[in-house]
Structure 1
Amino acid sequence: MSWRDFWNGEHAIYVSSRHKTLHYRRIATDLIVHIPSPGATVLDHGCGEALDASRVAAACGRLYLCEAAPTVREKLRGQFGRLERIVVVSPEEVAALPEATLDLVVANSLIQYLSRDELTTLLATWHAKLAPGGALVVADVIPPDVSPLTDATQLLAFGWRGGFFLAALAGLVRTVFSDYRKLRAQYGLSTYTPEALGDLLRAAGFVDVQRPSNFGHNPHRMTFKALRPA
């Protein structure tokens, strides 16, 4: 089983329906902050189920939702297919988009599941698809010194604030025996120091690398924002 197989199948990465709802609501809120104008064309690459995508779409001109897992794309089309501003695409369809047509690309909680070579290829694609002056936001990046225990503690804190603490506690116990834990042990998760990811962004042609607040509930992970030169 690969990471793509994992996300394409049934999994319990969210400990309850409330956890999933609050997670996607928070991600949408964080994403909207970076939309440069009401008419902007935005790509959410690795969007997952994107439950609050309609709110993101209302804040921009067009929203591309990119997901590698076919079953997730079908869910997205079933939920958002009638909304004119939302287009559901595969990674291959992103690669086929016209160049210099996107104003914002967001990749949240994605690059930890990619090899460095895969990330380098994606950075080149995103750079080509962004219009001059467009922005790339890479969010929820895991530093090498953040442990699974820290992630677990942050989930419990999120559960306490969000009213699903007991479900979060039970979910952490289930994770010990889950495919996610087995895949993490087999493949690991890609981690980056701020310097290393900044260097990769600049090598791909991006400039003005910044560190805004992280997306989501875990402040121990990182978000980077960089621009395609105007």
Structure 2
Amino acid sequence: MDDWIDYYDSTHTIYASKLHRDLHFQLIAKDIIGYIASPDAVVLDYACGEALSAAKVAEACGQLILAEPAPGVRGRLIARFAPNTKIRVRSLDDVRKMAEKSVDLVVMNSVAQYMTAAELDAAFAIIKRLLRPGGRLVVGDILRPEVGMPRDVIALLQFAARHGFLRDALIGLVATALSDYRQLRTKVGLQRYSEAEIVAKLAAAGFTASRAHSNIGHNPWRMTFVARHALRLPPAG
């Protein structure tokens, strides 16, 4: 994950325009809000990125914890949300030290593809400890093995056409093809999971999980899963 952290901590060209970037985060915030069950809920956004619309999420819950591994991004988050008393910015090391059963909802969106299988297992173990018994883990934007980059391109172009930045998206795709992102994606790769594989991975971490009807964000060919603590059955006899 370190190579990807360095990339997102740099000046990158992953967004076609400011409008694309802003709409991206607005849509993610809207989808996250849909999973908040109570206005008093404590929500953890695990590896949140720039989280430009986090203030909207904070309005819908009691406290929002933005956990981000990239130090430069984390610094910008601290500066951006310092006046908001409902938002706390933390490193992933800070998250490991948080109190057991202190969080109602954890969102891990567009993160799993950048982690090794072992890193994802370790993150699930930490999250399981943090979640309250009735809490939920939402794992979004999971890449499927049978769906390649052309579908990502189509999803972006459809999103751009709906929102008026198609020209910028086309230019951005050319820039991305020539960028460090494409080179890093080729060199390091992205993790992909089938529905059965991610459900089994969550089960091994002590969760029961099912696929959501729709993915978080604009890409309908990726998957989102909702997980809860697995029920412990009483011993037989």
TM-score range, shorter chain: over 0.9
Task: For 1:158 and 1:184, locate their aligned partners in 2 and report how far apart those are by CA, in whole Å.
Answer: 22
SS of 2:100's equivalent in the other structure is coil
Deviation at 1:70, TM superposition (A): 0.6
Query: 1:209 Cα shift?
Result: 2.8
Aligned to 1:78: 79
Identity %: 45
Aligned residue for 1:84, secondary structure, equals coil
Whether 1:223 aligns to 2:229 is no
Instruction: Return 5+ residue gaps in structure 2 as ranges.
Output: 232-237
Which one is further off, 207-216 or 51-60? 207-216
Deviation at 1:36, TM superposition (A): 1.2
TM superposition score normalised by structure 2: 0.95
1:195 alignment counterpart: 196
What amino acid does structure 2 have at the position aligned with 1:158?
F
CA–CA distance in 1 between the matches of 2:201 and 2:219? 23
Partners of 1:209 and 1:227 within 8 A in 2: no
Q: How does 1:1-230 map to 2 (within 5 A)?
A: 2-229=3-230
Deviation at residue 211 of structure 1 after TM alignment: 2.4
8 Å Cα contact 1:19/1:159 also seen in 2: yes
Distance 1:13 1:164 in 2: 14
Equivalent residues of 2:141, 2:217 under 8 A apart: yes
Q: What CA distance in whole angstroms lies between the structure 1 residues aligned with 2:227 and 2:18?
A: 34
* Deviation, structure 1 residue 155: 0.5
| Shift >2 Å, 4+ stretches | 208-212
Deviation digits for residues 141-171 of structure 1, max 9, x if unmatched? 0000111111011101111111110000001
| Conserved? CA contact 1:212–1:225, under 8 Å | no
Instruction: Give the counterpart letter for 1:9 in structure 2.
Output: S
* Deviations 1:26-83, CA, capped at 9 Å, x for gaps: 0000000000100000000111111111110010000000111111111111110111
Alpha-carbon separation, structure 1, partners of 2:197 and 2:179: 31
Deviation at 1:208, TM superposition (A): 4.5
User: Deviations 1:150-194 (Å, cap 9, x if unpaired)?
Assistant: 101110111111111000000100111110001100011000000
Alpha-carbon distance in 2 for matches of 1:152, 1:210: 23
Q: Distance in 2 between matches of 1:207 and 1:218?
A: 24
Number of residue pairs matched? 230
**8 A contact 1:80–1:86 mirrored in 2:** yes
Asked if 1 retains the 8 angstrom alpha-carbon contact of 2:101 and 2:131, the reply is: yes
CA RMSD, aligned part only? 1.1
Distance in 2, matches of 1:110 and 1:123, equals: 12
Amino acid across the alignment from 2:125: A
Structure with bigger gyration radius: 2
Structure 1 alignment gaps of length 5 or more: none
Query: Does the residue aligned with 2:48 lie in a helix, a strand or coil?
Result: coil
| Alpha-carbon distance between aligned partners in 1 of 2:10 and 2:150, rounded to the nearest angstrom | 26
Distance in 2 (alpha carbons) for counterparts of 1:61 and 1:190: 33
Alignment check: 8 A CA contact 2:113 2:190 kept: yes
Partner SS state of residue 39, structure 1? coil
